[in-house]
Amino acid sequence: MLLRALRMTLCVVLAASFFSAANALGRHKPSTPRPCISTDQASQYAGKDVCVTAHVYDVVELKDGTRFLDVCPLSMPDAECRFLMLSLYADHGEVGELRRYQNQNVLVRGVIRPMHGRMGIMISNARQFTGGPEKFRPNPKLLRGFFGQSDAMPVSDPNLTAHGRQRSFMNRYLTEQHTTAAK
């Protein structure tokens, strides 16, 4: 019983020294949330996933179902407004009703992208308003012609196919000659 207690004490001491050494080296830092940026600073973060804070003055819906969160004051001309938040009609179910954000300050996480001469964020999921990521969209160029039920490869790799009479990877009909060295 005494030996068991000594082992437990030694484990606790080793674990405590390990975590204190990791903290001293800077490897185990508690994650601190990054502060949100304003819409004026968004152009400096093009292509980056950031949190943007803005006041929503109006929610505009086009005939095709695309919705915009107007984050520029009504006194500002449309040509001078340099930031927008938009949600496509295809994401309507995941985003939900945007009118509830009208005349409110919002925090939206997303990738800053250039959009028609402005910088903007695509709102594709409601979780972006609580710090969550955008909806994952696979690259359609990579998935062209791929179906989960088929035996075809999802990626067209030239190293895995035979070109004419050349040998392909793992061709079972062409084998290497095995020679044994005489001793």
**What pLDDT score does 56 carry?**
95
pLDDT digits (tens, 9 = 90+) for 96-136: 999 999 999 999 999 999 988 899 999 999 999 988 888 87
Residue 180 pLDDT exceeds 80: no
Question: For all residues of the chain together, what is the average pLDDT?
Answer: 76
- List, edge to edge, every strand of the sheet that includes 118-122: 58-61, 67-70, 83-87, 118-122, 113-115
**What pLDDT score does 55 carry?**
95
What is the CATH number for 85?
2.40.50
**What pLDDT score does 146 carry?**
64
The mean per-residue pLDDT over the stretch 89-93 comes to 92
The mean per-residue pLDDT over the stretch 20-31 comes to 50
User: Whole domain around residue 114: which residue ranges?
Assistant: 46-130
CB 53 within 8 A of CB 71: no
Total count of domains within the chain: 1
**What pLDDT score does 10 carry?**
46
Confidence of residue 43 (pLDDT cuts 50, 70, 90): confident
Q: Does a structural domain hold residue 77?
A: yes
Confidence of residue 156 (pLDDT cuts 50, 70, 90): low
Q: Does a structural domain hold residue 178?
A: no
Name which residue leads in pLDDT, 177 or 76: 76
What is the per-residue DSSP string for the chain?
A: -HHHHHHHHHHHHHHHHHHHHHHHHTSSPPP-PPPPEETTTGGGGTT-EEEEEEEE-EEEE-TTS-EEEE-S-TTS-GGG--EEEEE-GGGHHHH---GGGTTEEEEEEEE-EEETTEEEEE---GGGGGTPPPPP---TTTSTT--TTS-S-SS--GGGS--TTSPPTT-SSS-PPP-----
Q: Does a structural domain hold residue 105?
A: yes
| pTM beyond 0.75 | no
Q: Does a structural domain hold residue 144?
A: no
Structure tokens of 116?
């028609």
CB atoms within 10 A of CB 165: 5
Q: Does a structural domain hold residue 139?
A: no
The mean per-residue pLDDT over the stretch 153-168 comes to 61
% of the chain beyond a pLDDT of 70: 58
Q: Does a structural domain hold residue 10?
A: no
Q: Does a structural domain hold residue 11?
A: no
Structure tokens of 61?
């819906």
Tell me, what amino acid is at 126? Answer: A
Q: Does a structural domain hold residue 56?
A: yes
